[in-house]
Amino acid sequence: MSLSHSLRGLTLGASLLALAACEPGGGLDLDLRHLGSSGLDTSAAAAQATQARPSPDARGIISYPGYQVAVARRGDTVDSVAARIGMTTAELAGYNAIAPGALLREGEVVALPRRVPEGGTMIASAPAGGGSIDVATIASGAIDRASGGTTTAPAPQSVTTTSIGNTEPVRHKVQRGETAYSVARIYNVNVKALADWNGLGPDLSVREGQTLLIPVTVASAPSGVTAVTAPGVGSPTPTPPSAARPLPAEKTQPAAEPVAKPAAPDLGAQKTAASGTSKLAMPVAGKIIRGYQKKKNEGIDIAASAGTAVAAAADGTVATITKDTKGIPIVVVRHEGNLLTVYYNIDGLAVQKGDKVKRGQTIAKVRASDPAFLHFEVRQGFDSVDPVPFLQ
């Protein structure tokens, strides 16, 4: 889905804040059904308690192991933030689905498309003839590029920790029709905390393509400790967040009519005798369900059944193996000519970092997901390229 550059919504005033407080995830709970001989049950509110967002550094950047974000200061625009962190306005604006020159709110979070090192300048692309490449950064970036594929909205989840430094907040890419309320429901977090972490305005508006940080919740009890009930009563069953109150009525209009796309080629079915001479081999046989788009999807997603063997595209060396925040492995293989291939949405690893691999050698299996697919990238140095010409 292409990123929308829609204008920000007009501020509706403090009245919406009062309404927000009455919504599920807000600060006011008028449901007194839990009153009993033991008093008011505040366990549901405690489960949604969140930590404060970490403070940014002198450049306005918050760094996590897998990504970074910038926090806007008073009077900042997309241009001034880009200049301060050392990247182009077009790159920063395009990644955040916002128009260049747009005025940002104080405290608004802006996602960074690439990592900014401690010195404050962007990681440079490796020279065409070779050179050192930060493969860990490439691997962590593959998580973002694969997460916006043809799969459905992320499964409900909450992140719990006892200290800010131990957990990397989940990021959510806003899809068409979503609101701050619906995103808060997906992750079972307080909508006001979601607004505070991301610097949302009084009307809590979000835009399609915007990246939101999901607040990290505070652990309400030590691991393994459960609620104590009277003998014979049984364990209490929590009420699902969606059962408390329906979503507020929403009337949204699509920004544009969907553009018809030609059917994706099934490279696995099109293999011929000449295919063996291609520079890279197909890692799995299947249909491409999501094509390459520079800075949006920097690889291709290939449909394949869960458990299908994933093969190395060419001879090379396993440069790194890492995992995303959900523990899903990412494998990066280095080949001759400063070429890298990236494999994501896999499990059942059959290789380790530093292993030599041959073209067609099994390195992992396709992970079970809905739908099941392999995310595959080809990079020349640090820059991504369309994998299809290498596979034909």
Per the CB < 8 A criterion, the answer to whether 188 and 156 are in contact is yes
For 21, list phi and psi in degrees, rounded to 5. Answer: -65, -25
What integer pLDDT is reported at residue 172 of this predicted model?
93
Rg (the chain; Cα; Å): 23
What integer pLDDT is reported at residue 5 of this predicted model?
34
Could you tell me the CA-to-CA distances from 388 to 40, 263, 288, 292, 343 in Å, in that order? 61, 15, 10, 8, 15
Domain boundaries, the chain: 29-118+170-215, 124-168+262-392
3-class DSSP assignment, residue 58: coil
Could you tell me the CA-to-CA distances from 321 to 136, 139, 174 in Å, in that order? 8, 8, 29
Whose CA is closest to 136, among 321, 263, 264?
A: 321
The more confidently predicted of residues 146 and 306 is 306
The CATH number corresponding to 124-168+262-392 among 2.50.20.10, 2.70.70.10, 2.30.290.10, 3.50.50.60 equals 2.70.70.10
Q: Could you read off the pLDDT of 207-221 as tens digits, one per residue? A: 999 999 999 887 544
> What count of Cα atoms within 13 Å lies in the side-chain half-sphere of residue 159?
18
d(Cα 319, Cα 342) in Å, to the nearest integer?
Answer: 10
Q: Could you read off the pLDDT of 155-194 as tens digits, one per residue? A: 444 333 333 445 788 999 999 999 999 999 999 999 999 9
Q: Is residue 114 scored above 50 in pLDDT?
A: yes
Q: Compute the 3-state secondary structure of the chain and give helix, strand, coil in percent, each to the nearest 5.
A: 20, 20, 60
Beta-bridge mates of residue 25: none
d(Cα 214, Cα 171) in Å, to the nearest integer?
Answer: 6
Whose CA is closest to 220, among 38, 50, 371?
A: 50
- Strands (E) located in 191-246: 211-213, 217-218
- What is the mean pLDDT of the segment spanning 227-244? 59
Q: Could you read off the pLDDT of 244-276 as tens digits, one per residue? A: 566 767 677 766 666 666 665 555 555 544 444
pTM of the complete model: 0.39
Q: Is residue 43 scored above 90 in pLDDT?
A: no
What integer pLDDT is reported at residue 118 of this predicted model?
57
245-252: list long-range contacts, CB under 8 Å, 24+ apart. Answer: 245/23, 245/24, 247/181, 247/182, 247/185, 248/23, 248/179, 248/181, 250/177, 250/179, 252/176, 252/177
247-254: list long-range contacts, CB under 8 Å, 24+ apart. Answer: 247/181, 247/182, 247/185, 248/23, 248/179, 248/181, 250/177, 250/179, 252/176, 252/177, 254/176
What integer pLDDT is reported at residue 51 of this predicted model?
85
Beta-bridge mates of residue 323: 329
Q: Is residue 243 scored above 50 in pLDDT?
A: yes
For 45, list phi and psi in degrees, rounded to 5. Answer: -65, -40
d(Cα 32, Cα 28) in Å, to the nearest integer?
Answer: 11
